[in-house]
Amino acid sequence: MIKDNREYIQVLEKEGQLKRVKAEVDWELELGAVSRKSIDEHGPALLFENIKGYPRGFPVFANIMTAAKPVLQARIALALSMPKDSHPLEIVDEYARRAAGKPVKPRIVKTGPCKENILKGKDIDLFMFPTPRIHGIDGGRYIGTWHADITKDPASDWVNWGMYRHVIHDKKRLGTYMSYTSHGMSHFFKNEAEGKDTPTAIAIGADPISTLVSTTDLPAGISEVEVAGAIGGEPIEMVKCETVDLYVPATSEIVIEGFIRAREMMEEGPFGEYTGYSAGGRLPRPYIDVTCVTFRNNPILTITNMGKPYEEYNTITSITTSAQIANELRARAIPFKSVYSPVHFAGIVISAKMQYPGFAQTLASAVWSSRAGAWGTYVILVGDDIDPSNIEDVMWCLTTRMHPKNGLVVVPNAPLDALAAYLAPVERRGTDYFTGYHVLFNATFPMEWPKEETPVIMDWEHGWPADVRQKVLSKWKEYGIS
């Protein structure tokens, strides 16, 4: 297991997946623009070492797990200690195998690198870190974009890790946006109902697996730190916070402790989001009173540049969501060949052989009833002859195998992501707020069709007899075709 953020940087650099930016870069929009340009070109991870107005030794680490070459998820593969050229479905299968293993409890330690510097009271100044204003539309400098939000269920011992955005309001206050169905928000609601503030800790720049797991939608009651240990193959070292009764990864670069105030709000937003849009506007939202900041010497601020593909959230969830849904289907003994959530697609593609008429609805219902699949607006079902990570083939199936009437199933009253760009203003603020639709695209030929009347694929594998294909392959050099 890669022990911390700094070791991960070394691995990326060794594998040609990181570039150190030594030129001076302004935190006001320039850093974000450089990051986005590199994302659009599937460039390397970036370590900005010279931020305008800040001393050396306060770098910013960006494009950490964005789409890469030779494989979109190359840096995720490296985080999992796999070869960077692993096929996406190999990464999904390996992640699923590890995540389904026995949970590994964390190891509690007395101290760690994140305690090298401790600031409390009047010494706290959130602006001491070179937090960028990433997008031109952003309503402030967002220090919390790539991290782990840690909260505890007040009714039990369950501790949840999530990832919610945080804007700096002033030296000691952070704004927060949490979706209404997130586990962090459920903890907040329970405390707020009793007029209590919610203790929280924000761990920035932990080891890559811990941060990766923080982006996942695990069921309530499941400990992300134990899943991270299972995926990494060893316990995550955790250290107790200074001012709240929570534990954080000991190797975190920066830890921000505080309380989400009950029944108090501050204006937050807008922000360029993972949907590829800025949607949701500027509204009153909860905020955090910061009580302590701890950090490593020469702390590395980690950020993600949300937006149109392919930033971290979408690249990661293409693996983690696929793996979680695959494990859900296996647990329910529902047969399928492979599962893949394409990068920047609000849904899942499943490759399977039809078992009986209506099997497509069985698969889709199983996906939507899972925590990981509840927000997948779209389910696309393709035959077991299709690689669901091959988007060209998926689109080909949608436009050739899906019946325009019978293949489309719309399910009302489904959970809704409030950041969805297609929502009309009345939907975003109306009485049916947070309910929308699920859609099934059944892009398969009906199993009841006679074999002789089922269309035959015309490609290299299916269009010619095996002896003809072998003859062509044996003479390929003779043809003189490069």
Return the pLDDT at 209: 97
Better-scored residue on pLDDT, 385 or 481: 385
Residue 379 confidence (pLDDT) above 70: yes
pTM score above 0.75? yes
Is residue 433 predicted with pLDDT exceeding 60? no
Same domain, 267 and 374: no
The verdict on 286 and 355 lying in the same domain is no
Residue 322 domain flag: no
Check whether residue 221 and residue 370 sit in a common domain: no
Kindly state the average pLDDT of the residues 91-105: 96
pLDDT at 429: 63
pLDDT of residue 436: 81
Identify whether the C-beta of residue 262 lies closer than 8 Å to the C-beta of residue 83. no
Instruction: Tell me, yes or no, whether 469 lies in a domain.
Output: no
Helix axes of 88-99 and 312-331: crossing angle, nearest 10 degrees: 60
- Which of 194, 182, 181 minimizes the C-alpha distance to 155? 194
Phi-psi group of 75: left, alpha or beta (phi > 0 → left; psi -120 to 50 → alpha; rest → beta) = alpha
pLDDT at 480: 87
CATH number of the domain that residue 361 is part of: 3.40.1670.10
Last residue of a domain, one of 287, 302, 317: 302
Which of 302, 318, 340 finishes a domain?
302
More confident residue, 308 or 434: 308
Q: What rounded mean pLDDT belongs to the chain? A: 92
User: Does the residue 128 lie in any domain?
Assistant: yes
- How far apart, in whole angstroms, are the C-alpha atoms of residue 382 and residue 397? 7
**273 & 385 share domain:** no
Q: Does one domain contain both 354 and 259?
A: no
Specify if 247 maps to a domain: yes
Same domain, 349 and 287: no
Q: Tens digits of per-residue pLDDT, 410-422? A: 998 887 777 777 7
Both 171 and 273 in a single domain? yes
pLDDT confidence bin for 309, thresholds 50/70/90: low
Confidence of residue 244 (pLDDT cuts 50, 70, 90): very high
Whole-number pLDDT of residue 360: 94
Which of 34-48, 164-178, 270-284, 330-344 is most confident? 164-178
Q: Is the pLDDT of residue 132 over 90?
A: yes
Asked if 148 and 270 sit in the same domain, the reply is yes
* Residue 125, CB-side half-sphere exposure with 13 Å CA sphere: 6
pLDDT exceeds 90 at position 457? no
In this prediction, residue 422 carries a pLDDT of 78
Residue 233 falls within a domain, yes or no?
yes
Average pLDDT in the 233-238 region? 98
Q: What is the mean pLDDT of residues 116-134?
A: 97
Q: Does residue 471 form part of some domain? A: no
Do 424 and 296 share a structural domain?
no
Report the range of poorest mean pLDDT among 122-136, 195-209, 275-289: 275-289
Instruction: Identify any residues that bridge with 258 across adjacent strands, giving them in sequence order.
Output: 200, 290
Task: Please give the average per-residue pLDDT across 180-202, as a whole number.
Answer: 95
Domains: count for the chain: 2
Residue 28 is among the residues annotated as catalytic for this protein = no
**Residue 356 domain-assigned (yes or no):** yes
> What is the pLDDT confidence band of residue 62, given thresholds at 50, 70 and 90?
very high
pLDDT at 431 over 70: no
Q: What percent of the chain has pLDDT over 70?
A: 98
Assess whether 247 and 375 both reside in one domain: no
Which of 80-84, 305-309, 357-361, 398-402 is predicted with the least confidence, judged by mean pLDDT? 305-309
Q: Which of 55-64, 151-160, 418-427 has the lowest mean pLDDT?
A: 418-427
Please indicate, yes or no, if residue 413 is contained in any of the structural domains: yes
Question: Percent of the chain, pLDDT > 90?
Answer: 76
Both 298 and 379 in one domain: the answer is no
Instruction: Choose the catalytic residue: 224, 268, 273, 311.
Output: 273
CATH assignment of the domain containing 279: 2.30.110.10
Question: Residue 351: which domain range?
Answer: 332-453
Query: Do residues 64 and 211 both lie within one domain?
Result: yes
